[in-house]
Amino acid sequence: MTRLPRFLAAALALGTAAALVTGCSEEGAPVTFDTPHSATRAQGGGTGGTGNGRERGPETVLPTGPKARFTTANTLEDGTRIGVTTLAGAKSGFTGKVWVWAPKQYFDPEYAASGFPVLVALPGGNGYPMNYWMGTDLKLQSSISTWSQEGKSLPFIVVMPVLNPDDTYYYDGSDIPGQPKMGTWLTEDVPDFVRANFRTFASRDGWAFMGSSSGGFAGLKAVLQRPDRFKAVIASGPDTVPDSPLWAGHETERQANNPERLAEALGAKPDSAENRVYLAFQIGTEESGLGRLKTFMKNHTKGPVKTRLQVIQGGGHNARSYVQGMGDGSIAWISRQMRGPVPSSP
């Protein structure tokens, strides 16, 4: 797999640590994402109101609990915070850190009764013990904030779990037999955690992945494997086949987690709204793999499988280049396919 080289991952982690030390005087302080409306647990029946004088927006699901305890990992210039907590995955059995950021619109009374779309952001490299998207140095969150104000992007809640359970192996975002269930962690435990703590949308129209390198592969595979739960992905510099050495002796299971096989099966289904997925590929002109992605798109852009390629001029196999590509078009493309928050009035 075209992984982010380990020395680059280490450099990114060091850059993030420096940002935390120099840019966040409130590091470690408690932080909450509750609002008067999101703190009201959804109740069955009734009119769908929030109990605060506003009707709940279309498909909005209020936080179900239990509520997690977050501490501040970083603070953006606009005052929004990136929180971190430790999640014990009930379905995977894996326990790891998850970082979360909510845009300013999430706290705006105008959107207090609306759900928000979720972008699960996965790092390259080992993605353990840190998810490098949680730092301010790569400007993922601040860019989404700016793009949403410019109308290029939806105001996503950005969720950043660890990708792997250790820094020794890659687990391909999958449930490899005999190993920690990282596929279940990413596609079930993490979304369940988000629904417990944030206003979200009931349908897959509010759920997407983005990732670089090994994280791009994991996000691509998750969307193709669970199109009933996730609608889109921005996959940057990914490979298109699983190649963890931990698959040895488990070829049947490996193929069940192969994006090429998954895309072939999904592409044979009817091109209906409920089947459509949107795969936004990104790759820099200074990295290898363009031919591989073009071949994947040629073979699998059919039926409900929709694809787009962003070639980043001067871009390399690194996270900063991929944020640039998002701004150049990828984030706008997936945003057009997804559900955004709906303002309301008392």
Condensed to tens digits (0 to 9), the pLDDT of residues 212-242 reads 999 999 999 999 999 999 999 999 999 999 9
Mean pLDDT of 81-110: 97
Residue type, 111: Y
pLDDT at 3 over 50: no
Q: Confidence band (pLDDT; 50, 70, 90) for 309?
A: very high
Q: How far apart are CA 299 and CA 258, in angstroms?
A: 14
pLDDT tens, position by position, 38-72: 544 433 333 344 445 567 777 999 999 999 999 99
Report pTM.
Answer: 0.89
- With b for 16 or more beta-carbon neighbours within 10 A and e for fewer, the 102-111 pattern comes to bbebbeeeeb
Measured CA angle at 108 (ends 106, 114), to 5 deg:
55
Three-class secondary structure of residue 214 per DSSP: helix
What pLDDT does residue 5 have?
Answer: 36
Whole-angstrom Cα distance, residue 134 to residue 308?
A: 26
Given a contact cutoff of 8 angstroms between Cβ atoms, the answer to whether 208 and 186 are in contact is no
Specify the pLDDT at position 26. Answer: 82
pLDDT of residue 40: 46
Helices 259-267 + 214-225 axis angle, to 10: 30
Tell me phi and psi for residue 123, to 5 degrees: -85, 170
What average pLDDT does this structure show over 162-180?
Answer: 97
Give percent above pLDDT 70 in the chain.
87
Rounded to 5°, the CA angle 200-203-206 comes to: 50
**Across all residues in the chain, what is the average pLDDT?**
89
Please give the pLDDT value at position 51.
44
Lowest-confidence pick of 52-56, 66-70, 91-95, 206-210: 52-56
Beta strands at 118-122 and 207-212: parallel, antiparallel or unpaired: parallel
